Amino acid sequence: MGAACRRRLWPVALATAKKQVTIPTRPQWPVALATEAPVVDRDAAAAPGVGPDPAAQAPLDARRLAVARLWAVSRHPYLAAAIFASPVVAVPGLGKVTVDESWRLYVDPELVEQWSVEVLGSLLVHHAGHLVRDHAGRARSLGVSEHVTKDWALAADAEINDDLINTGLRFPSEPVLPQKFGWEPSRLAEEYFHCDHPDSEAEPDCGSGADAQTRSWELLADRKSGLPPGERHLTRAQVASDVLRYCEEGRGRMSKSWLRWAEDMLDPQVDWRRVLAAEIRKGVGTTAGLVDYTYKRPSRRAAASPDVVLPAMERPVPEVVVLCDTSGSMGQNQLARLLAEVDGLLRGVGLGRSRLRVLAVDAAVHAVQRVSSGRRLELLGGGGTDMGAGVMAAAKLRPRPSVIVVLTDGLTPWPAAAPKGIAVVVGLIGGGRAKGNRTWEPPGWARVVHIDAA
């Protein structure tokens, strides 16, 4: 990377808008200093001692950026904490604005000059959306690999822009919207990711803050200039509470999906069905992310090179197995009802009912049943429980499951490690963790969802 902006080492730490910051006197910028986040000197941070030539590049117009921030916050006040949190890194010649996982904002000083305040401000709102909604963390839990980064980037942009499009924002290019791909509005990026992706010219690149793939111009994650994970979480919580207050005060229109996000962020007592569905979706997504090359159908890029047969990408269809704890401590009616709900959840995440296999497990593992409805399930067993044996038996099934959902009261031993390459979601029914004189803990390697048995 060549020479960067003029050295401007300001005290780094404007973590949120509310934090006290010491700002050195800059008489030439009398206004709006309080709205500016620190500007990180990229070269000084990357290679101490190597001094950039101050005259070589146009300096970053921090005041113009501050005005864009004010513009963004005047349109979306509930995003203020996030918009002010990002430290700015000038990257001459970058040709875009991006964010990284530590919430740093990378800007090309030339574009700050060229773009209108509206366009700059709109991008700040868009990128704050990626950070607040944790698109990087979600991409990672979904197992989004380099091959499918573009699909994820489109899905994440669709999720954000969908909520912003009628709020008067102006983007430098056509924004990605769900309608353009034939996707339903107001869905999550995970859902868009699994939708069909028609060929698209759009190549969104919003940085690792949107997809968890590090870019060459980004500073290392351990550099002090970024936001530590704890502060990222606090900033998200601040935004969530500002979203709710904004709605309560009736200050403006708010999309349903922002509201849903804020409620989920602040209220951990969410409906277990939603949590379980999200966990199953993540598990399904992890295997769906494991794409492979296939020659069974033509590549999307085939037209570009007619003489060469290019492989296309293929995602395996996820297989789900449900394990039901049929030991004496579980009521048959309760299990049948739960299973019917889980069946519904699986269909909700796009898995056909023919794919559902159920194993009745107590101390032994009973036959695999393919069920079309929870009511048809014959629950065998009774007696002691060993769901660990059930998990191992399920892992040996063919076709091999990619997700195992375990419905249990939790009074059971577990294997020491997860079966390789299989996501395990444990639905813990009821609050009891003690039997006899020992307490039982769900395994650390599984995703655990507490199910209210009432």
For strands 320-325 and 292-294, give the pairing.
unpaired
Smallest distance, Å, CB 350 to Zn ion?
24
Q: Decide whether 101 or 409 has the Cβ nearer to Zn ion.
A: 101
Q: Decide whether 10 or 217 has the Cβ nearer to Zn ion.
A: 217
Q: Decide whether 179 or 439 has the Cβ nearer to Zn ion.
A: 179
Instruction: Give the other-Cβ count within 10 Å of 166's Cβ.
Output: 9
Q: 323 forms bridges with which residues in the sheet?
A: 359, 406
Q: Decide whether 41 or 157 has the Cβ nearer to Zn ion.
A: 157
* Coil, strand or helix at 162: helix
Smallest distance, Å, CB 187 to Zn ion?
16
Q: Decide whether 41 or 191 has the Cβ nearer to Zn ion.
A: 191
Dist. CA 304–CA 323, nearest whole Å: 48
Smallest distance, Å, CB 46 to Zn ion?
25
Give the residues lining the site for Zn ion (CB under 5 A). 157, 206
DSSP state at residue 260: H
Q: Decide whether 197 or 273 has the Cβ nearer to Zn ion.
A: 197
Q: Decide whether 157 or 362 has the Cβ nearer to Zn ion.
A: 157
For 337-410, list the strands marked E by DSSP.
Answer: 356-361, 365-370, 403-408
Q: Decide whether 123 or 395 has the Cβ nearer to Zn ion.
A: 123
Dist. CA 120–CA 127, nearest whole Å: 11
Smallest distance, Å, CB 109 to Zn ion?
21
Tokens of 452: 């209210």
Q: Please, are residues 119 and 101 in contact by the beta-carbon 8 Å criterion? A: no
Smallest distance, Å, CB 146 to Zn ion?
17
Q: For residue 399, say if its preceding peptide bond is cis, omega within 30 degrees of 0.
A: yes
Dist. CA 343–CA 356, nearest whole Å: 8
Smallest distance, Å, CB 249 to Zn ion?
29
Q: Please, are residues 402 and 395 in contact by the beta-carbon 8 Å criterion? A: no
Q: Decide whether 206 or 429 has the Cβ nearer to Zn ion.
A: 206
Dist. CA 199–CA 215, nearest whole Å: 24
Smallest distance, Å, CB 129 to Zn ion?
8
Q: 39 forms bridges with which residues in the sheet?
A: 88
Dist. CA 129–CA 135, nearest whole Å: 9
Place of tokens 């309760």: 334
Which residue has the CB atom at the shortest distance from Zn ion? Answer: 206
Dist. CA 400–CA 391, nearest whole Å: 12
Smallest distance, Å, CB 212 to Zn ion?
13
Smallest distance, Å, CB 170 to Zn ion?
15
Helices (H), 93-220: 109-114, 117-132, 135-141, 149-164, 189-194, 208-211
Tokens of 143: 């197992």
